[in-house]
A and B are shown apart, each in its own frame.
Chain A
């Protein structure tokens, strides 16, 4: 899940009776699965929650270029290099698309970027983990994109039209990336002993962080009731996480890899896997900025922004000159 731990208003959802007429009309539209569009009235809390959620999602796409981009120059074959570049390019495209969706809610991309760089806006915790070997590129495609898809597929039904449509477009590409990531691991697992070991090591390091992508356990989340009532978060964190585990464990089996969880066990009664406790302490530390790469990621984005100032100003100046020349010629 790209937008994890989005705080909404923090209040329990109102009942229809408690709502003002405008609010009630809005909720009835949401309940009837009619999409909300940019020019319509919406509760302020709905607008704010969506801005946070969509911008976190956009920031995640942009920061998410870094761990994978780290291996572009070192990809082992021309084909793998091309696939990886195409993937990182897609992510930048998703970022743009999501910033546009956020802008329909009345906030600018520059303002959102400033919030990210000031540490006021979050991005997915997963991108604070380092890519140490080539197998990590496979693991990210398989697990991280897999978790993202699980979240985004249900967001295709989100009540806010622009976000829902963004998810439909993005999901198509993400599914492609996930297959390509899995394909990297298939190759490694069918390769030499060293390659297989590389794949297992990657799974060992990325498994827990991937489960954390779905956000904190439902019990800790007073905010999600309102988000669910507004249909901007159709399923709970734990339900999505369970779905992800159930889908992913057989894929690990197929690769011949071992999921690093001694408590992982098939539960016939619930027709799903039981899995071990997640280290929520680590999760909150990473969210607070104390993960392995938080500092590097933000420094890289800050540097790109600062170093690019002359470029952006140059283009603006040229645009002003051209407009003035055109006016003078008329």
Chain B
């Protein structure tokens, strides 16, 4: 195998990881539409979902292009099964309540934004282009999540307890976002993607300080839950895909 095809295979996987994070999280937050605690939140989460769908189209479009087998973003989103999905476990966790939804979003945005900032300097121009667009949206997502985490953590006793419970449940999944595997190391060596270890240190420092502002405490010694990047998911993903892919599966070959 030549170096060039090896790079392509890794980059294909990487684009899937970025795109799958976006599409799975969009499925989750899109489900809040019409059910959020305030109209402003219906609008805000619809907005986030919309941004993430746009990013999905860019990342999965790039993945299809790199793969070179004629699969477009829709085929990659709607016709891959759970074992071929590459999203982190965090984004597939259920909505549970609005506290879990906000905490999941915060833990993701706090990683996603610096990740995209770093990817703007990617040695691969296509990656840098996508990151350039997506970073602006992710910055807005993070501003909003950070603000809400602090206000609700430092709100009533009930809102603090709910946010703490959500943090306890979701914190174990945050580690996966920064856990580099061989593929990440390979891309970092080629300057296509950042060193996840260094990004992870900054991520944890940021979480610590923001959670303190929110009067919340990250659980100590929580084991890192991972596997999503290798297609080893929680039991939740199968249901997300059954729902999302139903029309494409029920009417194969139809155009919509």
Which residues of A line the B interface, CB within 8 A? 62, 65-66, 69, 72-82, 85-86, 88-89, 92-93, 95-96, 99, 134, 184, 187-188, 191-192, 194-195, 300, 303-305, 307-319, 321
Contacts and interface: CB of A to CB of B under 8 A. Distances in A.
Interface string B31-56: 10111111111110011011001101
Contact of A81 (B41, B53, B160): B53
Ranked nearest first, the 6 interchain pairs of A and B with the lowest CB-CB distance are A308-B37, A314-B159, A314-B155, A65-B34, A89-B46, A76-B256
B176 interface: no
Contacts, number: 151
A85 B54 CA distance: 11
B38 A318 contact: no
B103 to A, nearest CB: 13
A310 B43 CA distance: 19
A74 B242 CA distance: 9
A314 B256 contact: no
A307 B97 contact: yes
Contacts of B7: none
A89 B30 contact: no
Given A191-B255, A314-B155, A318-B155, A92 B42 contact: yes
B246 A310 contact: no
A133 to B, nearest CB: 9
Interface in B11-67: 23, 26-27, 30-31, 33-43, 46-47, 49-50, 53-54, 56-57, 60
Contact of B154 (A66, A313, A321): A321
Interface of B: 23, 26-27, 30-31, 33-43, 46-47, 49-50, 53-54, 56-57, 60, 73-74, 77-78, 97-99, 150-152, 154-156, 158-160, 162, 240, 243-244, 246-248, 251, 253-256
Nearest to B244: A73
B97 A194 contact: no
B254 A191 contact: yes
Given A89-B47, A308-B38, 19 more contacts: A72-B31, A74-B243, A77-B78, A77-B248, A79-B74, A88-B33, A88-B46, A92-B42, A194-B251, A195-B254, A300-B35, A303-B35, A307-B97, A307-B98, A308-B37, A311-B152, A313-B156, A314-B160, A315-B152
Q: Which applies to chain B's interface (DSSP): helix, strand, loop or mixed?
A: helix
Most buried by A among B39, B47, B246: B39
Contacts of B150: 318
A194 B254 CA distance: 9
A37 B53 CA distance: 41
B251 A195 contact: yes
A300 B53 CA distance: 25
Given A187-B256, A195-B251, A314-B156, A82 B35 contact: no
A85 B27 contact: no
A132 B246 CA distance: 14
Nearest to B158: A310
A121 B5 CA distance: 64
A72 B33 contact: yes
A195 B246 CA distance: 14
Contact of A78 (B39, B74, B156): B74
25 contacts: A62-B34, A65-B33, A66-B34, A74-B247, A76-B256, A78-B57, A81-B26, A81-B30, A85-B33, A86-B50, A92-B34, A92-B39, A92-B46, A95-B39, A187-B255, A188-B256, A192-B251, A192-B254, A194-B251, A194-B254, A303-B35, A304-B36, A305-B37, A311-B37, A313-B156
Contacts of B152: 311, 314-315, 318
Most buried by A among B56, B73, B99, B255: B255
Given A78-B74, A313-B159, A321-B154, A69 B34 contact: yes
A247 B40 CA distance: 35
Nearest to B35: A304
Most buried by A among B33, B41, B99, B162: B33
Contacts of A313: 155-156, 158-159
B98 A311 contact: yes
Nearest to A321: B154
Contacts of B54: 82
A299 to B, nearest CB: 11
Contact of A76 (B50, B160, B248, B253): B248
Most buried by A among B27, B53, B243: B53
A317 to B, nearest CB: 4
Contact of A65 (B42, B56, B246, B251): B42
Most buried by B among A72, A80, A188, A312: A72
Nearest to B34: A65
A143 B23 CA distance: 30
A88 B42 CA distance: 9
Contacts of B27: 73
Nearest to B97: A307
A62 B35 contact: no
B91 to A, nearest CB: 14
Contacts of B60: 78
